[in-house]
Amino acid sequence: MTDPQIALTMLGVFILFVFLGFPIAFTLMALGIGFGYYAYYDPSRMWRSYNRLTEDADGWTSTTTWLEGFFNNRIFDLFVNQTYTVMSNEVLTAIPLFLFMGYIVERANIVDKLFGSLAIAARNVPGSMGVAALITCALFATATGIVGAVVTLMGLLALPAMLKARYEPSFASGIICAGGTLGILIPPSIMLIVYAASSGVSIVRLYAAAMLPGLLLVGLYLIYVIGRSILQPSVAPKLSKEDVPDMPRGAVFLMLLKSFFPLSILILAVLGSILFGLATPTEAASIGALGGLVLAAGYRALRFDRLRESVYLTVRTTAMVCWLFVGSYTFSAVFSYLGGEQVISEFVGSLDLSPIAFLLLAQVIIFLLGWPLEWSEIIIIFVPIFLPLLPQFGIDPLFFGILVALNLQTSFLTPPMAMSAYYLKGIAPSEVKLTHIFKGVMPFLFMVILSMLMVYVFPGLVFTLPEAVYGN
């Protein structure tokens, strides 16, 4: 077999192991080292010392010299260097800080107060409880960036309230599932940090580019919720005083002041300091982590057990992301050295695709990958395969990254592998069937596809804000 054929075999074996359920980070490292041992095998370098041994060398000396030669393969140097590169990447330093902010906010009992005050404030809006749930999901998802945590917590809090208010189960379920995924798109998004580290795109410009598409998607969700509530009142009946009490405006404003504004100010302070160049993403994430602790203390929820759990979850998630990067960097370096990237580039070039056709093909592949894989695995492992092809089609990696971020919303919403649906089903009342949840997420899935189409047609949605703030 030629080296390029071995590279493609390497990729095929990896995909097979993924579907068999092997841990992806360690599979990448094992395949990278295994195939890399062949790729970098150099007998003249590895066995030089062993071949110089005299015949009277004892067994211990022969064994240790042989082992020294066996491990004197450049793949081990590459693995160490890639690990050091990941651990010293300044962009990735922001990840544990943002994660900690999210986990501490999640455990500060802010969300229940936030949802309750928004439900009261929006009680005269059609589908008011759904609107309140969607805004709460968007704000909370932006603060945490962890889809499973948002969907689970909102499922425990908002879903029973909407069902009690006689909302259609599929409609209520769809709102929570769709709203819970917004955190991977709207800044300060951890997914965008990971994409920036993979692609070399400025995280600051990436955050600015994601603002308008993120707000567009939230707007489409709200239009759908309000519009359907008007056209089909049975899915979201008008609330009675028993469902939501009628309170004076001053009392409602005071509730919002205690619940909505503190979290909003924290997010805007973190995001604003990044976008306007007042702080680096890592420094802003540090502010966010400190702000999360202050909020938790202000809500009298800063207990040691919650703090310990937040630290543990932060370390676990950060370790997962870092080892994925180490495995991906090692795997991709060996894959490229064997000529795999060149084969893919030549194959795509032979298809004679237009830039739009290439974008559509790439997005369809990412859409399908979203069924078996998490967003982190797609961004770290598969997106770098497309990145070297972008200059060939004249596509800006900034634009490509926003399309990918939008596309990854679908990976959580597309049956039969819609993970947000399974998160919700795990804590939903027994009368809410999985089929109800699948039915409820489908309209929101179409909203995501519509937003992607609008970004294709109006690329200014991506480029306007970064160019206005930072120039071309």
What is the pLDDT averaged over residues 28-40? 89
Q: How far apart are CA 377 and CA 238, in angstroms?
A: 43
Q: Give the H/E segment covering residue 27.
A: helix 24-39
Structure-model confidence comparison of residues 287 and 349, the more confident one: 287
pLDDT digits (tens, 9 = 90+) for 235-244: 888 877 666 6
| Burial class for 269, CB neighbours closer than 10 Å (0-12, 13-18, 19+) | middle
Question: Above 80 in pLDDT, residue 197?
Answer: yes
Distances (CA, A) of 425 to 58, 73, 402, 435: 66, 49, 29, 10
Rounded distance between C-alpha atoms, residue 380 and residue 198, angstroms: 6
Task: Assign 276 a pLDDT band (cuts: 50, 70, 90).
Answer: confident
Establish how many alpha carbons lie within 13 A of residue 367's alpha carbon, considering only the half-sphere containing its beta carbon: 17
**pLDDT tens, residue by residue, 167-193:** 898 999 999 989 888 888 888 888 888
Cα separation, 141 vs 202, whole angstroms: 23
In percent, the amount of the chain with pLDDT more than 90 equals 11
What b/e sequence results for 62-74 when a residue is b if at least 16 CB atoms lie within 10 Å of its CB, and e otherwise?
Answer: eeebeeebeebbb
Question: Picking from 25-39, 133-147, 159-173, which range would have the lowest pLDDT averaged per residue?
Answer: 133-147
Q: Tell me, what's the pLDDT at 275?
A: 81
Q: For the residues 95-105, what does the mean pLDDT come to?
A: 84
pLDDT of residue 54: 66
Residue 56 has pLDDT above 70, yes or no: no
Distance of CA 141 to the CA centre of its chain: 11
Which has the minimum average pLDDT: 108-122, 218-232, 330-344?
108-122
Judge whether residue 221 has pLDDT over 90.
Answer: yes
What is the C-alpha separation between 25 and 6, in angstroms, rounded?
21
pLDDT digits (tens, 9 = 90+) for 422-455: 888 888 888 888 888 888 899 999 999 999 999 9
Quote the pLDDT of residue 243: 65
More reliable by pLDDT, 7 or 111: 7
pLDDT confidence of residue 50: 67
The C-alpha R_g of the chain, in whole angstroms, comes to 25
d(CA 220, CA 228): 12
329-368 pLDDT, tens digit per residue, is 888 888 888 888 788 878 877 878 888 888 888 888 888 8
320, two tokens: 């997962």
Rounded to two decimals, the pTM is: 0.84
Helix (H, G, I), strand (E, B) or coil at 432: coil
Over residues 70-90, the mean pLDDT reads 84
Q: What's the pLDDT score for residue 385?
A: 83
Looking at this protein, which amino acid is placed at residue 105? V
The mean of the pLDDT values for the chain is 84
Tens digits of residue pLDDT in 293-328: 888 888 888 888 888 988 898 888 888 888 888 888
Counting every residue written for the chain, the total comes to 472
The answer to whether the beta carbons of residues 366 and 408 sit under 8 Å apart is yes
Angle, in degrees to the nearest 10, between helices 147-164 and 128-144: 160
At residue 213, the pLDDT reads 92
**Calpha distance 272→279 (Å, rounded):** 9
The predicted pLDDT at position 237 comes to 85
pLDDT tens track for 462-471: 999 888 887 7
